Amino acid sequence: MRERKPVGMPDIVWEHVQKLQHKNWRVRRRAVEALGEIGHESGVPHLAKALKDENEDVRWEAATALGWIRHESAIPHLTKALKDKNEDVREKAATALGEIGHESAIPHLTKALEDKSEIVRSAAARALDMIKRKK
């Protein structure tokens, strides 16, 4: 049985949400990218699930998309993504948290300053600066 479109979700968002189930990671990555470009908050829970995708390209694209949407409901998911095994995912998660700009991300980003990857540490520092500038 096919899942029904949630009430209030635009058709274009639903169309791309359905593609997140595709077996080809390139299709999933493109769907995630499109959801970020659309920017509707109804895509956030689906992008949060995509942060756990088996493919790292899908995961980092999901983190990027959540940063574009800038909805605070993404913060807990992005803070978990700061612990992803892939440094690109961790970097994009830190950047997205900075774009959202909510103070609740500060402790997580501060911890990310200790990441083994210089790229992640740098992204965390920039994100912390972005949050402090929004105050």
Q: Is residue 46 included in any domain, yes or no?
A: yes
Query: What total of structural domains would you count in the chain?
Result: 1
Contact (Cβ atoms closer than 8 angstroms) between residue 85 and residue 74: no
Q: Is residue 5 included in any domain, yes or no?
A: no
125 pLDDT higher than 90: yes
Q: Is residue 6 included in any domain, yes or no?
A: no
Confidence grade of residue 75 (pLDDT, cut at 50, 70, 90): very high
Q: Cα–Cα distance between 96 and 22 in angstroms, integer?
A: 25
> What is the mean predicted confidence (pLDDT) over 35-55?
98
CA distances to 27, 32, 55, 131, 135 from 65, in Å: 15, 7, 16, 18, 24
Encoded tokens for 54: 């088996």
Q: Is residue 1 included in any domain, yes or no?
A: no
Share of the chain above pLDDT 70, in %: 98
Provide the pLDDT for residue 2.
65
Q: Give pTM, 2 decimals.
A: 0.94
Encoded tokens for 67: 């940063």
> What is the mean predicted confidence (pLDDT) over 30-58?
98
Contact (Cβ atoms closer than 8 angstroms) between residue 109 and residue 78: no
For the chain, give the mean pLDDT. 96
Q: Cα–Cα distance between 13 and 74 in angstroms, integer?
A: 17
Q: Taking the C-alpha atoms of 72, 74, 77 and 78 in order, what is their torsion angle to the nearest 10 degrees?
A: -80
Confidence grade of residue 134 (pLDDT, cut at 50, 70, 90): confident
Structure-token match 């993504």, residue found? 81
86 pLDDT higher than 60: yes
Q: Is residue 125 included in any domain, yes or no?
A: yes
Domain enclosing residue 99, as ranges? 11-134
Backbone conformation region of residue 86, classed left if phi is above 0, alpha if psi is from -120 to 50, else beta = beta
- Read off the pLDDT of residues 2-27 as tens digits, 9 standing for 90 and up: 688 989 999 999 999 999 999 999 99
Q: What is the CATH number of the domain that holds 41?
A: 1.25.10.10
> What is the mean predicted confidence (pLDDT) over 65-85?
98
Q: Is residue 3 included in any domain, yes or no?
A: no
> What is the mean predicted confidence (pLDDT) over 106-123?
98
Q: Cα–Cα distance between 129 and 70 in angstroms, integer?
A: 16
